[in-house]
Amino acid sequence: MCDLSTDGGAFPEIHVAQYPLGMGARGKESTSNALAVQLDESGKVKYSAIARQGHSADKIIYSKLTDLLPSEVLAEDDATLQKPTEDDIQDITEKTKQALEKLTNAKISAALPVKAAPKAAPAQYIRYTPAQQGGAFNSGAKQRVIRMVEAQSDPLEPPRFQINRKIPRAAPSPPAPVLHSPPRRVSVKQQRDWKVPPCVSHWKNAKGKT
């Protein structure tokens, strides 16, 4: 068995502990730096063992997607991480379209000089029971049905309230301070230097031009 097992194979029909090429045998230190394949709880290959190689056991190493997920999300197949379905995309697109159309129509109607009359709200019917009952009141009727409609507004009516009133401007910021040198006494030499003699022209009008 020793001669046959030196080729690197193991024989399943031999019910004894076999160590092909001495791998796994106790008392023999392996010189290879290859890592043993490890599996996680779901049966997948645990590639994070490569990142942990050469580090201490208490060092925290983030090597999986679940390490980057927030604390409230515990699984990769969480519903909040999945792509939206076609129905969700259509619903969100329709809501976004309606919101943009509402903003656009509001700005367009505000920019027009003449606005179209807004659509009146539907009529409301109110049942009214007067407090005074009798034949001498309310033409002898015990109840009345009142039809409540919205008053039609004139689209050409000018605005009733002036909203473009000019507000007085606030006080400007104070001017920047100008730094001056401290006053000094003027010496006699400086007083003489400031006395500039008047400029006297030596030009002569020989031809008498005026």
Whole-model pTM over 0.85 = no
The pLDDT of residue 27 is 64
The pLDDT of residue 66 is 74
Q: How much is the mean pLDDT over the chain?
A: 80
CA separation for the pair 119, 141 (Å, rounded): 34
Segment among 18-27, 78-87, 135-144, 170-179 with least mean pLDDT: 18-27
The pLDDT of residue 180 is 87
Residue 182 lies in a domain: no
The pLDDT of residue 93 is 96
Q: What is the DSSP letter of 148?
A: E
The pLDDT of residue 8 is 58
Residue 169 lies in a domain: no
Question: Phi, psi at residue 142, to the nearest 5°?
Answer: -85, -30
The pLDDT of residue 116 is 65
In angstroms, the Cα distances linking 112 to 40, 99, 108, 156, 201 are: 67, 21, 6, 12, 73
How many folded domains does the chain comprise? 1
Residue 2 lies in a domain: yes
Residue 121 lies in a domain: no
Residue 13 lies in a domain: yes
Residue 81 lies in a domain: no
pLDDT tens string 74-108: 666 667 777 889 999 999 999 999 999 999 988 88
Residue 9 lies in a domain: yes
| Residue numbers of the domain that contains 3 | 1-34
Provide the pLDDT confidence category of residue 196 given band limits of 50, 70 and 90: confident
Q: What is the DSSP letter of 100?
A: H
Residue 61 lies in a domain: no
